[in-house]
Amino acid sequence: MTVVEYDGRIVVVDTGLMFPTAEMHGIDLVLPDFSYLRDRADDIEAIVLTHGHEDHVGALPYVLREIGIPPKIYGGLLTIGMVRSKLDEHKLGEKAPLQELPAGEKVKHGPFQLELVHLAHSIPDMRGVLITTELGSMLMTGDYKFDQTPVDGRPADVPRLAEIGRDGLLLLCGDSTNADRPGVAPSESSVGPALLQEFSRCEGRIVVTSFASNIHRVQQVIDAAVALDRKVALVGRSMRKNYNIASNLGMAKAPQGLFIQPREIEDFPDEKIVVISTGSQGEPLSALRRMANNDHRDVQLHSGDTVVFSATPVPGNERAVNETIDRIYEIGATVITAKDAPIHASGHGWQEELKLMLNLTKPRYVMPVHGDHKRLRLHSELAHDVGIDPANVFRGRNGLPLEIDENGARFGEDIHAGVMYVDGVNIGEPDDAALRDRREISADGIFIVVATVSSDDGSVVADPEVIFRGVAFLEEADALVEEMSDLIEDLLEDASKAGNREPHLIEEDLHDAVGKFVFQRLRRRPMILPVVVEV
Amino acid sequence: MTVVEYDGRIVVVDTGLMFPTAEMHGIDLVLPDFSYLRDRADDIEAIVLTHGHEDHVGALPYVLREIGIPPKIYGGLLTIGMVRSKLDEHKLGEKAPLQELPAGEKVKHGPFQLELVHLAHSIPDMRGVLITTELGSMLMTGDYKFDQTPVDGRPADVPRLAEIGRDGLLLLCGDSTNADRPGVAPSESSVGPALLQEFSRCEGRIVVTSFASNIHRVQQVIDAAVALDRKVALVGRSMRKNYNIASNLGMAKAPQGLFIQPREIEDFPDEKIVVISTGSQGEPLSALRRMANNDHRDVQLHSGDTVVFSATPVPGNERAVNETIDRIYEIGATVITAKDAPIHASGHGWQEELKLMLNLTKPRYVMPVHGDHKRLRLHSELAHDVGIDPANVFRGRNGLPLEIDENGARFGEDIHAGVMYVDGVNIGEPDDAALRDRREISADGIFIVVATVSSDDGSVVADPEVIFRGVAFLEEADALVEEMSDLIEDLLEDASKAGNREPHLIEEDLHDAVGKFVFQRLRRRPMILPVVVEV
């Protein structure tokens, strides 16, 4: 999510999200921290979306709900279609001023002129965003590659990029994802023939998994199935949803009668079936993961089936993907991955493409974006390689604004940025105490100690209750709890005799005494939660 | 861990462990479930260890403590040295009958004749285990490669393997780790020149990370440092420990004055330093991870430094390794991995080596071991390829015994096997309720409700206490708790009026009512823990 500001007015480019890691106990989603915009809702002229991937549009419902509805939300045709479906699910669809902005068309909003520039990516209708003010122009590339033979026949708009360079570009913010890969990314259309070749060797059913939003990939799987006279079943909610959106927009097509329902799969011979499924990242609840666990309602994998991973694991998902693959082998089916055959092509340009973008657009200033520190650095070095003055290349970070005026460009002062966590219906800070508590309890468990004392003299009026959860392998639990109860009663009696009646202080003493006792016995430090009830 | 049984007597080969994944909340170690041996301690003739890696020896202290001390524990010289150090830490060193068994020497124990066969691996003194009874011989390869130019000049003992094949081998249990890689693994000694070449380009300090037990790798780093006139600092506890063990056994050597203490690093020019560090897997508390987090006492990384990963991530560790690498880039240092230069060689043989092992030993039966389902299947197919009857290739799983007698071989009946978890001082089952509780609490938190009622009439004698932990972003907490208290009081009064005095039943009602209330408000299902105290 990028905020572009001029003369007090704002254009927001993209509103993406991240998915939580295992260390973020119970967190559902990770959003950009957009608190900078909280008091600036009235200054926002438009939100512009480069493409429909979750890491570029996923936070939009939360931005609209928390910040407010901007005058316009622009994007390409498919992007708007996918976002509309998402906002409908959040009951925001009617309010949101979604509008397709065709590539090349210019619109004015306050001090900004906005234009989308067509680029290629692993989802149709990817657009760079050209924002022009009286100071000059900046181009946010979004995620792109220069695919000379894209599946839809619409390569990146090199002529327009050349014009932008000729007219003078002030700032280029470029995708750095593959800044570490020398050469040029393979074309998306090279995947189709490789899929067909692999399919033609399969004797049983074929299950292909890919990102559901990669409409051109799904189309190529469909085409290969048609060529081999196999029926196609789309399995997984997002696979069906995205195909339907693309099909309604005329971006995906299949012959009449090709599709069958997942429940009909068993009615056809194995060699007549191609299943296209979600789950290429090993997601726990995905259709493919369920198949691998022998837990899918409609598709039971068996020996002779071939599962084709037409995707590579996003960093961090390797273990989940490997587990899925191995369970498929356990069932007796075979797996083909992008390591075995060229059945995947990245949607992000490689080094020669990043250099081409730099050479075409000839920016005065460059800010590499969308990559880890390694790739931002490598992207900067590519800019140096094509002759851009290192002093004009700015490697930033979230929350560090790049300020440009007539005198030059420089980093400004850090503003509050970072991430926010979504947990159920609530949004909050990553350092919320609740998450620290979850980490603590999930490591060592929790002991709850309830002491009931008289409000008159602090004497014990009921046996202490000791309850524990998440304390592992406690064979000697009864004896331990009994000893602990004695300890607690002694402590309460001492407190009563000493005239210590303050529940808060007694709770502190209980906390320390029980914690020490538990550590001596179990060598663990569970959370200790004492409750003193006065009667 | 493999149990070999004949005539009621037992030899155990290896006693390895696994490290926990993030889903095993708070678990320290994962052991093989060796409960099969609980009543069989007296039948154990010996434990034989193939090599000193944790996944082959790490469970030994637990086996000795839980099952008992066997008459003998055999292994190669370094293996025994490393295990002795480990058992000393567990205060078991004096009791354990550790003994080096030189390769080729035969010992008799009960119905077994035992012999170690020298093989190559990523740790010195790797030995296959040949076990002979009157029925025939079996060979457990352990982890091996056929390295023709190992660093210590001692390649795998091919002549002895050929003899074993000539004399007739009943069963081969072979390492399957790299059954998916065509060809032959690169030699360990190919790594040294590649390291020297990379080092010679470095202008600042060099930090090399590798597995501490890979003595030959550490030796090659030392040799490269000597060639470039750099001093060497060993950083990380296991790095220093393993080097000292190997050095004392004459397996590693360095010129006088080469080593410096980590705290002396700053006293030397950057270009005169090589640091050899633990942390190649991104382990959270490792020396390299601390350096990457700017949190190491002795080594502060800075721009100009080069960190060399002379190791590849074990599957599942990719994210931790990538995070470490990216933090090093953030600091401004450069990283070289095995993707950039041939600075790592696997210790496990590739397909041509597995076939060579099969052809040399000519086993009647084959059981591929040490690999996931995919690699066990591929290893089986390699056995078919070299002419072994598929009916004689047994793909097993943990707990499924392979039974061999004069009439042939077959799988027997499943015995109880699998894994056990170590949590602090205790060992238990993975399905322990405590771990389910940890998972539940770590996802959604916990609410504790304490109700104090009169034992006479069930009337409420103190305000209910509501405490929560791990419930995220609860801005409206006070109001929620107040409403909840009202709800609880109402429920308790109703119970009192209805004559319901059974604390257990009231707790059930409280659990359901509070859980429903919380879900309506927060859309989460935290654990609800009601406590009714009677006064």
Task: Give the residue on A whose Cα is nearest the Cα of B473.
Answer: A428
Is B523 in Cβ contact with A472 (below 8 Å)?
no
Q: Which SS3 state, helix, strand or coil, does residue B236 take?
A: coil
Per CB-CB distance under 8 Å, the chain B contacts of A531 are: 448, 450, 465, 467
Are the C-beta atoms of residues B324 and B289 closer than 8 Å to each other?
Answer: yes
Q: Is the pLDDT of residue B483 over 80?
A: yes
Q: How far apart are CA A14 and CA A36, in angstroms?
A: 15
End-to-end CA distance of chain A: 55
Query: Which residues numbered 289-308 in A keep a CB inside 8 Å of some CB on B?
Result: none
**pTM for this structure?**
0.88
B383 interfacial to chain A (CB closer than 8 Å): no
Q: Is the pLDDT of residue B28 over 90?
A: no
Is A443 in Cβ contact with B441 (below 8 Å)?
no
Determine what percent of chain A is predicted with pLDDT higher than 90: 81
Is B26 in Cβ contact with A445 (below 8 Å)?
yes
* CB nearest to B535's CB, from A23, A461, A529: A461
Per CB-CB distance under 8 Å, the chain B contacts of A465 are: 531, 533
How high is the pLDDT of residue A184?
Answer: 97
How high is the pLDDT of residue B180?
Answer: 96
Is B374 in Cβ contact with A325 (below 8 Å)?
yes
Find, among B58, B437, B424, the residue nearest to A446 by Cα: B437
Mean pLDDT of chain A, nearest integer: 94
Mean pLDDT of chain B, nearest integer: 94
Position of tokens 């790049």?
A402
Q: Is the pLDDT of residue A462 over 70?
A: yes
Task: Give the residue on A whose Cα is nearest the Cα of B313.
Answer: A318
Task: Give the residue on B whose Cα is nearest the Cα of A433.
Answer: B470
B33 interfacial to chain A (CB closer than 8 Å): no
* CB nearest to A427's CB, from B315, B429, B473: B473
Tokens found for residue B24 = 């095993």
How high is the pLDDT of residue B316?
Answer: 83
The amino acid at residue B98 is L
Containing B160, the helix (H) or strand (E) segment is helix B158-167
Find, among A295, A286, A516, A472, the residue nearest to B20 by Cα: A472
Q: How far, CA to CA in Å, does B62 sit from each of A524, B16, B123, B327?
A: 19, 10, 23, 37
What are the strands, taking DSSP E only, across B222-321? 231-235, 273-277, 306-309
Q: How far apart are CA A441 and CA B526, in angstroms?
A: 13
Q: Would you state the torsion angle of the CA atoms of residues A78, A84, B520, A443, taken in this order, to the nearest 10 degrees?
A: 30
Under the banding of pLDDT at 50, 70 and 90, the label for residue A311 is: very high
How high is the pLDDT of residue A473?
Answer: 66
The arithmetic mean of pLDDT across residues B450-460, rounded, is 87
Q: What are phi and psi of A300, to 5 degrees?
A: -105, 110
Tokens found for residue B61 = 């202290």
Q: Cβ of A414: how many Cβ atoms within 10 Å? A: 11
The arithmetic mean of pLDDT across residues A279-299, rounded, is 94
Q: What are phi and psi of B420, to 5 degrees?
A: -125, 155
Q: How far apart are CA A489 and CA A113, in angstroms?
A: 75
Q: Is the pLDDT of residue B433 over 90?
A: no
Maximum C-alpha span of chain A: 89
Is A326 in Cβ contact with B432 (below 8 Å)?
no
Find, among B501, B489, B442, B449, the residue nearest to B470 by Cα: B442
Q: In DSSP terms, which residues pair with B44 in a beta bridge?
A: B10
Strands B446-453 and B527-534: parallel
Are the C-beta atoms of residues B306 and B334 closer than 8 Å to each other?
Answer: yes
Q: Is the pLDDT of residue B477 over 80?
A: no
Q: Which SS3 state, helix, strand or coil, does residue B230 take?
A: coil
Is B315 in Cβ contact with A434 (below 8 Å)?
no
What's the per-residue H, E or C state across B365-426? EEEEECCCHHHHHHHHHHHHHCCCCHHHECCCCCCCCEEEECCEEEECCCCCCCEEEEECCE
CB within 8 A of B381, min separation 6: which ones?
A: none
A316 interfacial to chain B (CB closer than 8 Å): yes
* CB nearest to B531's CB, from A325, A467, A522: A467
Lowest mean pLDDT among B101-105, B189-193, B240-244, B434-438: B434-438
Find, among A532, A496, A478, A488, the residue nearest to A514 by Cα: A488
* CB nearest to B467's CB, from A319, A374, A529: A529
Q: Is the pLDDT of residue B67 over 80?
A: yes
Q: How far, CA to CA in Å, does B240 sit from each of A262, B125, B218, B230, B234?
A: 58, 19, 11, 18, 6
How high is the pLDDT of residue B428?
Answer: 82
Q: How far apart are CA B133 and CA B142, in angstroms?
A: 20
Q: What is the side-by-side order of every strand in the sheet holding A29-32? A: A29-32, A419-423, A426-428
How high is the pLDDT of residue B348?
Answer: 98
Active site residue A372: no
* CB nearest to A529's CB, from B439, B469, B533: B469
* CB nearest to A374's CB, from B325, B424, B531: B325
B280-292 residue pLDDT tens:
999 988 999 999 9
Task: Give the residue on B whose Cα is nearest the Cα of A460.
Answer: B535
How high is the pLDDT of residue A425?
Answer: 73
Are the C-beta atoms of residues A86 and A92 closer than 8 Å to each other?
Answer: no
B260-276 residue pLDDT tens:
999 999 999 999 999 99
Is A441 in Cβ contact with B522 (below 8 Å)?
no
What's the per-residue H, E or C state across A259-286? ECCHHHHHHCCHHHEEEEECCCCCCCCC
Lowest mean pLDDT among A464-468, B135-139, B211-215, B332-336: A464-468
Q: Is the pLDDT of residue A109 over 90?
A: yes
What ipTM does the predicted assembly reach? 0.84
Q: How far apart are CA B66 and CA A473, in angstroms?
A: 15
- The C-alpha of B358 sits at a distance from chain A's nearest C-alpha, in angstroms, of 23
The one catalytic residue in A14, A175, A305, A423 is A175
Q: Cβ of B94: how many Cβ atoms within 10 Å? A: 7
How high is the pLDDT of residue B14?
Answer: 98
How high is the pLDDT of residue B145?
Answer: 97
Are the C-beta atoms of residues A403 and A204 closer than 8 Å to each other?
Answer: no
How high is the pLDDT of residue A478?
Answer: 82
Is B448 in Cβ contact with A423 (below 8 Å)?
no
Q: How far apart are CA A318 and CA B235, in angstroms?
A: 29
Q: Is the pLDDT of residue B102 over 80?
A: yes
The one catalytic residue in A109, A118, A348, A370 is A348
Residues in chain A: 535
How high is the pLDDT of residue A503?
Answer: 84
Q: How far apart are CA B494 and CA B480, in angstroms?
A: 21
How high is the pLDDT of residue A393?
Answer: 98
DSSP state of B28: -
Q: How far apart are CA A383 and CA A377, in angstroms?
A: 10
Q: How far apart are CA B275 and CA B273, in angstroms?
A: 6
Around B90, how many Cα atoms within 13 Å sit in the side-chain half-sphere? 19
- The C-alpha of A88 sits at a distance from chain B's nearest C-alpha, in angstroms, of 20
Q: Is the pLDDT of residue A432 over 80?
A: no
Around A105, how many Cα atoms within 13 Å sit in the side-chain half-sphere? 9
Position of tokens 């000493």?
A498
B27 interfacial to chain A (CB closer than 8 Å): yes
The arithmetic mean of pLDDT across residues A276-287, rounded, is 94
Find, among B198, B257, B252, B174, the residue nearest to B220 by Cα: B252
Q: How far apart are CA B307 and CA B330, in angstroms?
A: 13
Are the C-beta atoms of residues A527 and A445 closer than 8 Å to each other?
Answer: yes
Query: Which residues numbered 413-432 in A keep a CB inside 8 Å of some CB on B?
Result: 421, 423-428, 432
- The C-alpha of A260 sits at a distance from chain B's nearest C-alpha, in angstroms, of 31
CB within 8 A of B484, min separation 6: which ones?
A: B449, B466, B514, B517, B518
Query: Which residues numbered 139-178 in A keep a CB inside 8 Å of some CB on B?
Result: none
Q: How far apart are CA A513 and CA A510, in angstroms?
A: 5
The amino acid at residue A33 is D
How high is the pLDDT of residue B473?
Answer: 66
For A164-194, b/e burial (b = at least 16 CB within 10 A) is bbeeebbbbbbbbbbbbbeebbbbbbebbeb
